[in-house]
Structure 1
Amino acid sequence: MKGVAILGATGSIGASALAVLAQHPDRFRAVALTAHRSADALRGLVARHRPSLAVLSDAEVPADAGGPTRWASGREALLEAATHPDADIVVNALVGAAGLEPTLAALEAGKRVALANKESLVCGGPLVLQAAERGGGELIPVDSEHSAIFQCLAGSRPGEVRRLILTASGGPFRCWAPELISSATAADALRHPTWDMGSKITIDSATLANKALEVIEAHFLFGVPYARIEAVVHPQSIIHSMVETVDGSVLAQMGFPTMELPVLYALAYPERLPYDSRRFDPVAAGTLTFEPVRDDCFPAFALGVRAGLHGGTTPAVFNAANEVAVAEFLAGRIPFGGIADSIADALERWPGGPVRTLDDVREADAWARRAAHTYLTRLAPC
Structure 2
Amino acid sequence: MPRRLLILGSTGSIGTQALDVVRAAPEGTFEIVGLAAGRQWEPLVAQAREFGVDLIALGDEETASRASAAWDGGRVLHGPEGLVHLVLESGADLVLNALVGAAGLGPTVATLGEGIDLALANKESLVVGGELVMQLAEATGARVLPVDSEHSALWQLVEAESRGGSLEAGTIDTLVLTASGGPFRGRTRADLGDVGVEQALDHPTWAMGGKITIDSATLMNKGLEVIEAHHLFGTPYDRIDVVVHPQSIIHSYVTLCDGVALAHLGHPDMKAPIAFALNHPERRPIPMRPLNLAEVGQLTFEPADEETFRCLPLAREAGREGGTAPCILNAANEIAVHAFLNGRIGFLRIAEIVEATLDEVAPRSVHAFEMLYDADRAAREAAAALVAG
Give the alignment's TM-score, normalised by structure 1: 0.97
Letter in 2 for 1:56: L
Asked if 2 retains the 8 angstrom alpha-carbon contact of 1:170 and 1:205, the reply is: yes
Instruction: Work out the CA distance in 1 between the residues paired with 2:117 and 2:253.
Output: 24
What stretches of structure 2 of length at least 5 have no aligned partner?
A: none
Deviation at 1:283, TM superposition (A): 1.3
Letter in 2 for 1:143: D
Letter in 1 for 2:33: V
Higher mean alpha-carbon deviation, 344-353 vs 54-63, is at: 54-63
Deviation at 1:44, TM superposition (A): 1.5
Asked if 1 retains the 8 angstrom alpha-carbon contact of 2:361 and 2:382, the reply is: no
Higher mean alpha-carbon deviation, 175-184 vs 115-124, is at: 175-184
Q: Which residue of 2 aligns with 1:350?
A: 361
Q: Which residue of 1 aligns with 2:114?
A: 109
Which residue, out of 366, 370, 375, partners 2:381?
Answer: 370
Instruction: Work out the CA distance in 1 between the residues paired with 2:185 and 2:233.
Output: 28
Q: Which residue of 1 aligns with 2:53?
A: 51
Give the alignment's TM-score, normalised by structure 2: 0.95
Higher mean alpha-carbon deviation, 368-377 vs 349-358, is at: 349-358
Deviation at 1:85, TM superposition (A): 4.5
Asked if 2 retains the 8 angstrom alpha-carbon contact of 1:50 and 1:69, the reply is: no
Higher mean alpha-carbon deviation, 223-232 vs 121-130, is at: 121-130
SS at match of 1:230: strand
RMSD between superposed Cα atoms in Å: 1.2
Q: Deviations along 1:160-193, whole A, 9 cap, x unmatched?
A: 2100000000000002232121321001100000
Instruction: Work out the CA distance in 1 between the residues paired with 2:246 and 2:17.
Output: 23
What stretches of structure 1 of length at least 5 have no aligned partner?
A: none
Letter in 1 for 2:121: A
Percent of pairs with identical residues: 46
Q: Which residue of 2 aligns with 1:176?
A: 187
Instruction: Work out the CA distance in 1 between the residues paired with 2:262 and 2:65.
Output: 48
Q: Which residue of 1 aligns with 2:270?
A: 259
Asked if 2 retains the 8 angstrom alpha-carbon contact of 1:32 and 1:84, the reply is: no
Q: Which residue of 2 aligns with 1:61?
A: 65
Asked if 1 retains the 8 angstrom alpha-carbon contact of 2:80 and 2:106, the reply is: no
Asked if 1 retains the 8 angstrom alpha-carbon contact of 2:127 and 2:228, the reply is: yes
Which residue, out of 190, 206, 218, partners 2:229?
Answer: 218
Letter in 2 for 1:3: R
Instruction: Work out the CA distance in 2 between the residues paired with 1:148 and 1:346.
Output: 33
Q: Deviations along 1:314-336, whole A, 9 cap, x unmatched?
A: 00000000000000000001000
Instruction: Work out the CA distance in 2 between the residues paired with 1:202 and 1:284.
Output: 27
Q: Deviations along 1:120-174, whole A, 9 cap, x unmatched?
A: 0000011101211222211000000000000011241423210000000000000
SS at match of 1:154: helix
Q: Which residue of 2 aligns with 1:35?
A: 37
Equivalences for residues 225-244 of structure 1 within 5 A:
225-244=236-255
Asked if 1 retains the 8 angstrom alpha-carbon contact of 2:55 and 2:90, the reply is: no
Q: Which residue of 2 aligns with 1:17?
A: 18
SS at match of 1:360: helix
Which residue, out of 272, 276, 283, partners 2:294?
Answer: 283
The total of aligned residue pairs comes to: 378
